[in-house]
Structure 1
Amino acid sequence: MGFLVTTLIFVAIGVIASLCARICCNRGPSTNLLHLTLIITATVCCWMMWAIVYLAQLKPLIVPVLSEGE
């Protein structure tokens, strides 16, 4: 459930940032498209970084080997 909830949080942050950029930085159609593209790209990249780290900790590729004393 943590993966889905955090994914929805990233979607909400992306939508809010897009709306804020649309309201605060309204300078023309090409500039608005550039701002929207940059916000979506940044949000997707941050989500992918979080997802890779989360899934790597969920199921690691290298299994720890316990020594005899542990």
Structure 2
Amino acid sequence: MGFWSTTLIFFLAGVVASLSLRLCCNRGPSTNLFHLTLIITATVCCWMMWAIVYLAQMNPLIVPVLNGEK
């Protein structure tokens, strides 16, 4: 999977989680805002962790050394 398709999956997961929270746990404006903030923060943090690991593999800092001579 590519970078943008997985980014879209994370975005859709965040939207689904936000909508399900809104439908299932409607407790008042202050609590709803707090829960929505937690979901958005968790989604962005998970996406950033995935993106950093994914992009770090494109240009690794440690280059493998091939030993052709024995």
Q: CA RMSD in A?
A: 1.5
If asked which structure has higher relative contact order (CA below 8 Å, sep 6+), I would say 2
Q: Which amino acid aligns with 1:66?
A: L
- For structure 1, the residue ranges without an aligned partner over 5 or more in a row are none
Q: Which amino acid aligns with 2:16?
A: I
Q: How does 1:11-26 map to 2 (within 5 A)?
A: 11-26=11-26
Report sequence identity in percent.
77
TM-score (norm 1): 0.92
Tell me by how many angstroms 1:68 deviates.
2.8
CA distance in 1, matches of 2:26, 2:47: 26
CA distance in 2, matches of 1:69, 1:41: 51
Partner of 1:63: 63
Partner of 1:4: 4
CA distance in 2, matches of 1:29, 1:66: 61
TM-score (norm 2): 0.92
Aligned length, in residue pairs? 70
Flag the structure with higher helix content: 1
- For structure 2, the residue ranges without an aligned partner over 5 or more in a row are none
